[in-house]
Structure 1
Amino acid sequence: MSALKEIYLNQFQLNILLDEEEKEAYRYIVQEGTYCVHCKDVCKEGVEVHENILNDMNDILIKGICKKCGGHVSRFIEYGEFEDFVVKANSFRKAIGE
């Protein structure tokens, strides 16, 4: 089996890929569940998301900026360990020709 490629997701693609429960987890992580190494605390004002990446393990990588201090932050959501998400992610990859 060949290695999967990273896919940069726009907001529309992310909304297609995530179900309601996964969207809620995503919102929580963006709003109050990401640690900032610059603030030495969670991003209390949230994260300004710049990139969402579906990685080679079918996890979502969020990259952005801490809204409090402006420091770069990133956070993985490990969806690739859930079979139902892997099925959706692989269907998505096939649909976009990856």
Structure 2
Amino acid sequence: MKTLKEIHLNQFQLNILLDEEEKEAYRYIVQEGTYCVHCKDVCIEGVEVRENILNDMNDILIKGVCKKCEGYVSRFIEYGEFGDFVERANSFRKAIGE
């Protein structure tokens, strides 16, 4: 079985991959759903996203910094278990020659 590669996504690519419901979940996670180990609380001012990565399991990994303390944070969104997202992700991978 072929192992999928991690793909760094720009905002345009991310918007193509996510449907409206997934975009809303993404916004929630970035704005108020990520825990900061430095603040010992949810990032109350949100996260400044530095990277979005489509990982080898077709999940989205968000890497960024807490807007309050500038500590590094990361958060997985487990989309790889949803068939419709996996189809879109695999089509995207094929389109970019991965």
TM-score, normalization by structure 1: 0.99
* Partner amino acid, structure 2, of 1:57: M
Pairs within 5 Å for 1:1-98: 1-98=1-98
Divergent runs of 4+, >2 A: none
Counterpart-to-counterpart distance in 2, 1:84 and 1:70: 35
The Cα offsets for residues 2-31 of structure 1, whole Å up to 9 and x where unpaired, read as 100000000000000000000000000000
Q: Which structure 2 residue ranges, 5 or more long, are not aligned?
A: none
Shift of 1:68: 0.4
Counterpart-to-counterpart distance in 1, 2:68 and 2:76: 20
Q: Percent identity?
A: 89
The Cα offsets for residues 18-59 of structure 1, whole Å up to 9 and x where unpaired, read as 000000000000000000000000000000000000000000
TM-score, normalization by structure 2: 0.99
CA RMSD of aligned residues (A): 0.3
Counterpart-to-counterpart distance in 2, 1:93 and 1:6: 10
* Partner amino acid, structure 1, of 2:60: I
